[in-house]
Amino acid sequence: MHKVAVVGASGYTGAELLRILHRHPGVKITCVTSRQYVGEPISKVFPSLRERVDLVCEENDTELIADKADLVFTALPHKTAMEVVPGLLAAGAKVVDLSADYRLRDVGVYEQWYQEHSSASLLDTAVYGLSELYRGQVATARLVANPGCYPTSVILAMAPMIRAGLVDLSTLIVDSKSGASGAGRSAKVGTLYCEVNEGFKAYGVGSHRHTPEIEQELSALAGTPVQLNFTPHLLPVNRGILSTCYFNLASAKNTSQLVEYFEASYAGEPFVRVLPEGELPNVSSVSGSNICDIGVVSDERTGRAIVVSAIDNLVKGAAGQAVQNMNLMIGADEATGLLDVPPFP
Which residues are marked as active site? 149
Q: Which region, judged by CB under 8 A, interacts with its own copies, from 11-19, 80-88, 90-98, 133-141?
A: 11-19
Which residues share a beta bridge with 292? 272
Question: Is residue 321 part of the contact set for its own copies (CB under 8 A)?
Answer: no
**Beta-carbon count within 10 A of 202 CB:** 13
Of the pair 20, 127, the CB lying nearest its own copies is at: 20
For 80, residues 6+ apart whose C-beta sits below 8 A from its C-beta are 8, 99
Q: Which of residues 206-265 bind its own copies (CB under 8 A)?
A: 206, 227-229, 231, 233, 235-240, 242, 244, 246
Q: Which region, judged by CB under 8 A, interacts with its own copies, from 114-122, 137-145, 156-164, 280-288?
A: 280-288
**Separation of alpha carbons 24 and 164, rounded Å:** 36
For 255, residues 6+ apart whose C-beta sits below 8 A from its C-beta are 277, 296, 297, 298
**Separation of alpha carbons 24 and 336, rounded Å:** 7
Interface residue with its own copies, options 38, 173, 252, 264 (CB under 8 A): 173
Question: Is residue 112 part of the contact set for its own copies (CB under 8 A)?
Answer: no
Of the pair 15, 155, the CB lying nearest its own copies is at: 15
In terms of DSSP H, where are the helices of 80-120? 81-90, 107-113
Question: Is residue 122 part of the contact set for its own copies (CB under 8 A)?
Answer: no
Instruction: Report the SS3 class of residue 279.
Output: coil
**Separation of alpha carbons 288 and 11, rounded Å:** 17
Closest approach, Cβ 60 to its own copies, in A, equals 20
Of the pair 140, 186, the CB lying nearest its own copies is at: 186
The answer to whether 241 and 317 have CB atoms below 8 angstroms apart is yes
Of the pair 18, 161, the CB lying nearest its own copies is at: 18
Of the candidates 305, 68, 293, the residue with the CA atom closest to the CA atom of residue 166: 305
Closest approach, Cβ 143 to its own copies, in A, equals 27
The residue type of 325 is: N
Closest approach, Cβ 87 to its own copies, in A, equals 29
Interface residue with its own copies, options 208, 293, 318, 325 (CB under 8 A): 293
Interface residue with its own copies, options 273, 330, 335, 336 (CB under 8 A): 273
Closest approach, Cβ 194 to its own copies, in A, equals 4
The answer to whether 321 and 147 have CB atoms below 8 angstroms apart is yes
